[in-house]
Amino acid sequence: MQINPFIFRSYDIRGIVDKDLDVEKVEAIGKAYGTFLNRRKIRQAVVGRDCRLSGEEFKPAFIRGLISAGVEVIDLGMIMTQLMYYGQYRFQTNGGAMITASHNPYNFNGFKLAVGFSKTTEIEEVLEIKGYVETDNFFKAEIAGKVTEADIREDYFNDVLKRIRLKKKFKVVVDFRHGTPARYVPELLKRAGCEVISRRDNVDGHFPAGTPDPTAEDFIKELAKVVLEEKADLGLGFDGDGDRIGVVDEKGRILWNDVLVAIFAQEILERFPGSKIIYNGLCSRVVPEVVKQNGGLPIIWRTGHSFIKSKIAEEGAAFGGELSGHFFFNDNAYGHDDGSYAALRVLEYLSDKNTTLSRLYETFPQYISSPEIKIGCPDEKKVEIVKSLSKKFKADFPDAQITDDTVIPGDDGTRADFTDGMMIFRYSQNGPYITVKFEAKDQAVYDERKKYVREMLKSYPEMIWQDQLCVNLEALN
């Protein structure tokens, strides 16, 4: 089958509906994943989808492909990604598929595919599945697999709530921007003992208020206003499939998710001193500094939920997290990214410490830090451009500590650490764009770094400054 090769990314599959993905291609991907599972003697899989409109026809097409390979399917319906992972444990199966494009705009869709409990494909497995699709080399079972339906909402709620205990009642504002978590999170937070103020909680796959991306400053600024108006203890923003969050403190201040990585690391290191903590290259220097201050070992690693999860397993780390809002708890949970569980862990730590989020944050090293900025760039150009950027970057900052693919094999960017901050350029693994972030202790230095980043990117005519995938461009003004 002819199919856009760029939709097969480093750890998942993602493309534009009716351009890269249609019902026929989705069924072929289902056949390929079924073939992939059969080679590993995995003959059962849980399958779910988020609220994207294309999921209504993509899920049955994908399931048709799976059962043609003899795989027994447990259809979980419209769920958050973490319920797919939980479903693997609930039904004791290594197979699992989530039909989602996470934080991409409404006209994208894709697949997160399991290769074990809480473990998803990496580049080798994605390329294997791509090969089956391109060659139509599918396993065909003599007897098709059966499909059963299951509602695991209550089981999931009970499982999460037995791991969390809040000592006080929090008033929480939660904004969903019409994403799938609106079906689950309000009830879960209420059962945990919270007063919940829900915004844009009618699920709508058109995403009429904009893409639910908690790294987008416009989304979180809207949340901050409501937190102040309601005099709430906390504000939470969720992405479209529920595995990521963004947070606002009670003062209406946005705390980018690298600060949350530091908060979770500190909480875990108080109980497990000396633990390893994994974080990705986009995170602020606040993360390794807090980890070291609390007696832990910080390990920087490649961006991407599959890569971070694998590194946590390899190192036996207690926790890992990313700037994007993926958090992986390896102490009292399954180790996969679950935004609703992460939200409750924040609240539990605040209740244990009898403090507020702002007071906790103010105990950390303070940086002026940009959000995660995304600029459109064609898939066929982005790797070459980042390599070119990196050469100039390293030449311009010879005294900086450089982290790139010579330090982290297969890394997708270049990071420079200074005594007073950091700067990074990288290409995305799940979309045609380039990501940057920078920070400093001093406003004047911050402004200099912002100017440097802006002028560096502007020097490449291939960059697309007006694109639906662009996020937080105003941070470069």
Point out the residues that are catalytic.
Answer: 102
The pair of three-digit structure tokens given for residue 151, joined into one six-digit string: 């509602």
Asked if 192 and 344 count as a contact pair (C-beta separation under 8 A), the reply is: yes
d(C-alpha 239, C-alpha 406), whole Å: 33
CB atoms within 10 A of CB 455: 10
Q: Is 226 helix (H, G, I), strand (E, B) or coil?
A: helix
d(C-alpha 139, C-alpha 47), whole Å: 19
d(C-alpha 194, C-alpha 65), whole Å: 42
Quick one: DSSP state of residue 464? B
Asked if 88 and 42 count as a contact pair (C-beta separation under 8 A), the reply is: no
Residue 67 CB burial class (10 angstroms; 0-12, 13-18, ≥19): buried
**What residue has token string 């934080």?**
103
d(C-alpha 153, C-alpha 164), whole Å: 17
d(C-alpha 325, C-alpha 457), whole Å: 25
Asked if 90 and 163 count as a contact pair (C-beta separation under 8 A), the reply is: no
Own/partner long-range contacts of 142-145 (Cβ < 8 Å, ≥24 apart): 142/70, 143/70, 144/67, 144/68, 144/70, 145/34, 145/43, 145/66, 145/67, 145/68, 145/69, 145/70, 145/71, 145/72, 145/73
Q: Return the axis-axis angle of helices 286-293 and 257-271, rounded to nearest 10°.
A: 10
d(C-alpha 56, C-alpha 73), whole Å: 17
Residue 378 CB burial class (10 angstroms; 0-12, 13-18, ≥19): middle
CA distances 422 to 64, 265, 417, Å, are 48, 20, 4
Length of the chain: 477
Instruction: List Cβ neighbours of 475 (8 Å cut-off, separation of 6 or more).
Output: 217, 370, 371, 373, 450
**What residue has token string 């999860």?**
309
